[in-house]
């Protein structure tokens, strides 16, 4: 598992007990630990590939359902009697603004990363997955399975929002808001650069969170990793929402595009985030972290073990 860093052993209550007890008690604790380890499922294609991919599918569906639902259900304009005005949407109508949206996306990533870091690595994002594939932390097979699961989960999450929403909130049965597009007066080139920069911020935070050497030097890193990643997502949304509705996640764009039946400038939201994530991952590995370049290159050559 990528994160928390596998080389970083956080103190546990068992460690404290073993330090405090006598030799016989330590043996007893060691025996209990062996029994506990025996209850963990052994490595297999199910445990190493299928189950983590299912986690990615579920978390991406949850991520999009709550965030897209948060936007759609609150931006519709209403009459004085509370009835919905068909086709009228405003970021201020339901108390929702860019800050609220940014906080919503960031908090959801915080919660889901906290819940699934040990289950699947908490990618929830094809751009992050592609960067981990490029730096040989993920195998090609696992990366592609993850991306498929993330995109499928995004479609399910956005589809549930459309299925639940009354017709008056929709646009001929399609999602009317919250999908990604390049807004005037910005150009696709500007959107590409900003999406790459926003994803670079996210990937930089992810790389710091999974860096075992940094975790050893600063033990709080593994504990605050989910919060830091969530904050990076919030910051990116504050800047990019007025330009593109902020993607920094191709699965988020794909699911919303399917639900909205809108594919305008769709390529920008794959190329930009993936470029930003890949470049940042290599820069972190080869320039910023403390590991020797030869060690990084060796890991690139050998690749991950198993799936």
Whole-number Å distance between alpha carbons of 217 and 17 = 24
Burial class (CB in 10 A: 0-12, 13-18, 19+), 90: middle
Q: Is residue 96 part of a domain?
A: yes
Q: Is residue 289 part of a domain?
A: yes
Which pLDDT tens digits describe the chain residue by residue (307 residues)? 555 554 433 333 334 344 444 454 444 455 555 545 567 677 788 888 899 999 999 999 999 999 999 999 988 777 666 666 665 666 665 568 899 999 999 999 999 999 999 999 999 999 999 999 999 999 999 999 999 999 999 999 999 999 999 998 998 999 999 999 999 999 999 999 999 999 999 999 999 999 888 777 777 777 899 999 999 999 999 999 999 999 999 999 999 999 999 999 999 999 999 999 999 999 999 998 887 777 777 877 777 776 6
Could you list the residue range(s) of the whole structural domain that residue 115 is in? 43-302
Please tell me the total count of domains within the chain: 1
Q: Is residue 254 part of a domain?
A: yes
> DSSP code of 176?
-
* CB 122 within 8 Å of CB 225: no
Q: Is residue 166 part of a domain?
A: yes
Q: Is residue 268 part of a domain?
A: yes
Q: How many residues does the chain have?
A: 307
Global pTM reads: 0.84
Closest by CA position to 226, among listed 133, 146, 106, 126: 106
CATH number at residue 220: 1.20.1080.10
Q: Is residue 38 part of a domain?
A: no
* CB 104 within 8 Å of CB 250: no
Q: Is residue 18 part of a domain?
A: no
Distance of CA 195 to the CA centre of its chain: 15
Q: Is residue 11 part of a domain?
A: no
* CB 130 within 8 Å of CB 274: yes
């Amino acid at each position: 598992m990528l994160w928390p860093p596998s080389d970083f052993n956080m103190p546990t209550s068992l460690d404290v007990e073993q330090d405090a007890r006598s030799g016989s008690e330590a043996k007893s604790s060691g025996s209990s630990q062996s029994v506990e380890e025996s209850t963990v499922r052994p490595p297999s294609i199910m445990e190493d590939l299928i189950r983590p991919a299912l986690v990615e599918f579920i978390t991406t569906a949850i991520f999009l359902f709550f965030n897209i639902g948060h936007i759609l259900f609150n931006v519709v304009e209403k009459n004085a009697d509370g009835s919905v005005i068909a086709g009228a949407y405003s970021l201020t109508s339901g108390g929702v603004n860019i800050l609220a949206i940014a906080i919503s996306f960031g908090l959801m990533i915080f919660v889901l990363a906290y819940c699934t870091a040990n289950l699947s690595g908490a990618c929830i994002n094809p751009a992050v997955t592609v960067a981990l594939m490029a730096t040989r932390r993920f195998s090609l097979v696992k990366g592609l399975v993850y991306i498929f699961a993330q995109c499928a989960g995004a479609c399910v999450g956005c589809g549930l929002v459309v299925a639940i929403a009354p017709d008056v909130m929709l646009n001929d049965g399609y999602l009317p808001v919250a999908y990604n597009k390049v807004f005037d007066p910005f150009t696709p080139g500007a959107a590409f650069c900003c999406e790459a920069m926003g994803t670079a911020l996210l990937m930089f935070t992810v790389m710091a969170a999974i860096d075992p050497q940094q975790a050893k030097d600063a033990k709080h890193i593994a504990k605050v990793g989910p919060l830091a990643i969530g904050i990076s997502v919030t910051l990116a949304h504050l800047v990019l929402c007025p330009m593109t509705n902020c993607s920094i996640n191709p699965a988020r764009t794909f699911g919303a595009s399917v639900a909205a039946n809108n594919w305008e400038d769709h390529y920008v939201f794959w190329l930009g985030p993936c470029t930003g994530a890949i470049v940042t991952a290599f820069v972190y590995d080869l320039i910023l972290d403390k590991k020797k370049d030869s060690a990084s290159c060796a890991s690139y050559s050998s690749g991950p073990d198993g799936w």
